[in-house]
A and B are shown apart, each in its own frame.
Chain A
């Protein structure tokens, strides 16, 4: 089956950069995604990267994709307390019409 793996926790200080990592197994994916879940809420699409790209930058967010190693990362520059949330990577599976989510990484930003 398809697995998407992430570390469970990350703690950073405000103003530092955060790097959240993900490994996936389905190499046929056209897109890979990052979702954000704030406390008590559903998931929101944060950003995505097309599989023929190595990097995508969107303001404070940088997504890096290493297709050879099936490794995806999300870098948040100048991390703020409002970035505290759970971050999920997601990989389309089953012909691309459904997403498999990772376990989620809980990001805690300390003052």
Chain B
């Protein structure tokens, strides 16, 4: 039972490069989320999705795009990476958006 799987686990980017972070869940959850975690700031919501084909902005969406073409996958894209996007990124999914968020193990991204 894999739960929520994030790839890659680590990545170093140069300023201006692009990349996509992949989140996959095998629990048939409707809701999926991308958060970033920075020291002293907790987790901040970037984008989220309440079902296949839907996306919505969270608290800190600028510089990121997302897509939810398949129910089990939620992709987070950085079109032109900036050092301010250095962070640990967590994906989460939920059956109903209320109880029991399941988190992935995170992607540590460094932008130099």
- Residues of A at the B interface (CB closer than 8 Å) are 1, 4, 6, 8, 30-31, 35, 40-45, 48, 88, 92, 96-104
Contact = CB atoms under 8 A, between A and B. Distances in A.
Nearest to B58: A98
A44 B31 contact: no
Nearest to A6: B42
A78 B33 CA distance: 34
Nearest to B98: A96
A98 B42 contact: no
B40 A43 contact: no
Interface in B93-112: 97-101, 103-106
A44 B102 CA distance: 7
Given A98-B33, A98-B48, A43 B42 contact: no
Interface of B: 4, 31, 33, 35, 40-45, 48, 50, 58-59, 90, 92, 97-101, 103-106
Contacts of B103: 42-44
Contacts of A88: 42-43
Contact of A104 (B42, B45, B98, B104): B42
B37 to A, nearest CB: 8
Nearest to B106: A42
B105 A98 contact: no
Contacts of A31: 98-99
A30 B98 contact: yes
A42 B98 contact: no
Contacts of B99: 31, 45, 48
Contact of A102 (B4, B42, B58, B100): B42
A92 B40 contact: no
Contacts of A98: 31, 33, 45, 48, 58, 97
Contacts of B42: 4, 6, 88, 101-104
A45 B98 contact: no
Given A41-B105, A43-B90, A98-B48, A103 B98 contact: no
